[in-house]
């Protein structure tokens, strides 16, 4: 499911008009900053950060097979999966506040540039 969600923007970009693709590229940094701002605000609201760690888990399953004569059979087996876990981490809250302020200032600058680039996209690729 996660892979599908990550692939959707690529699929949408493949179907987008040249103007939409150009505008999407112009807004990429603003979208990235929006995500970082949301993450930083969440850290400040919680009072701690979250780090993603991967854990290897072995699960007992029931697998099936077919004999050479075509007969179906079921047998116990194990599957190894990698699972992402969110782990709390301590943060310097003042540093997070400073980071948020810096991100907000940078977003203002990037948004102004993105709007200018979006206008240039509309001029270059009228629909």
Considering Cα of 39, then 43, then 49, then 54, what sign does the dihedral take?
A: negative
**Whether 85 and 95 share a structural domain:** no
Burial of 16 (0-12, 13-18, 19+ CB in 10 A): middle
Q: Is the pLDDT of residue 106 over 90?
A: yes
Residues in the chain: 127
13 vs 109: which has the higher pLDDT: 109
58 lies in the same domain as 72: yes
Whether residue 115 sits in one domain with residue 95 = yes
In a domain, 96, yes or no: yes
**Which H or E element spans position 73?**
strand 72-89
Both 124 and 73 in a single domain? no
In a domain, 77, yes or no: yes
Residues 83 and 96 in one domain: no
Same domain, 54 and 44: no
Structural domain including 70 reads 50-89
The overall average pLDDT reported for the chain is 89
Give the range among 4-8, 23-27, 30-34, 95-99 with minimum mean pLDDT: 4-8
Position 123 in a domain: yes
If asked whether residues 25 and 56 sit together in one domain, one would say no
Tokens coding 25: 């590229």
Tally of domains within the chain: 2
Convert the pLDDT of each residue in 49-75 to its tens digit.
999 999 999 999 999 999 999 999 999
Residues 44 and 95 in one domain: yes
State yes or no: pLDDT of 5 exceeds 50: no
Judge if 38 and 94 occupy the same domain.
yes
């Amino acid at each position: 499911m996660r892979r599908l969600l990550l692939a959707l923007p690529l699929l949408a970009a493949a179907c987008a008009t040249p103007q939409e693709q150009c505008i999407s590229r112009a807004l990429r940094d603003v979208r990235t900053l929006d995500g970082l701002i949301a993450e930083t605000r969440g850290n400040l609201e919680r009072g701690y950060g979250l780090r993603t760690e991967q854990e290897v888990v072995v699960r007992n399953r029931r697998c099936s097979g077919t004999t050479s004569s075509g007969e179906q059979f079921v047998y116990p087996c194990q599957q190894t999966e990698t699972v992402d876990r969110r782990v709390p981490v301590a943060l310097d809250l003042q540093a997070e506040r400073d980071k948020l302020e810096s991100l907000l200032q940078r977003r203002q600058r990037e948004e102004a540039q993105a709007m200018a680039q979006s206008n240039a996209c509309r001029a270059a690729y009228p629909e």
